[in-house]
Amino acid sequence: MRHYRTFGLTAGICLLLDQLSKIYIDTTFVLYQSLPVSENFFHITYLRNPGAAFGILSDNAIRIPFFIGVSILAVIGILWYLRKVDSRDHWQHFALGLIFSGAIGNLIDRIRLGEVIDFLDVHWYQYHWPAFNIADSAICGGVIVMFLCTWRDERLKNRANNA
């Protein structure tokens, strides 16, 4: 169990940050309230997203059971895959911890509220990226680290085969 420490710490810290930030936004801001952090670039804006990324399926009747089911399958898949990762590969444990915490963080919102609290609003003047939260950031960061780990492993395998 000791080799799951990186996974557990990463997942625990990110989940805590995600949930505390959402509680803070939900109790401090009113819906659609925006606080400029960097004018024309970054605001904290309280939004609720009933759909997935970019609002996909936001008006579909099956969205809540669908997203809860997908999140549960993702969590199970991550835990299954974690058992197969080399215990010394802390980067993959880190990546899986990020993805796991993001899936759980948004799952908690969907079960509790039926939608996800988003508040990180990145934009260039009037051109906005869809608002997101710490859970979304953790998932994206985890996927990037997993991609880099896969790339690293393939390079090492090719090097060993060519030696």
The yes-or-no answer on residue 89 being catalytic is no
Catalytic residue among 18, 109, 118, 121: 118
Q: Could you give the CA distance from residue 115 to residue 159 in angstroms, rounded to a whole number?
A: 47
Report residue 152 as tokens.
């690293």
Distance CA 150, CA 43 (A): 34
Bridge partners for 77 per DSSP:
none
The two three-digit tokens of residue 59, written as one number: 């008006």
- C-alpha span between 45 and 4 (Å, rounded): 35
> In the annotation, is 118 catalytic?
yes
d(CA 115, CA 111) in angstroms, rounded, equals 8
* Residues 74, 154: Cα–Cα separation, whole Å: 24
Q: How many CB atoms lie within 10 A of CB 150?
A: 12
User: What gap in Å lies between CA 55 and CA 116, rounded to an integer?
Assistant: 10
Q: Which of 18, 109, 121, 136 is catalytic?
A: 136
Which residues belong to the active site? 118, 136
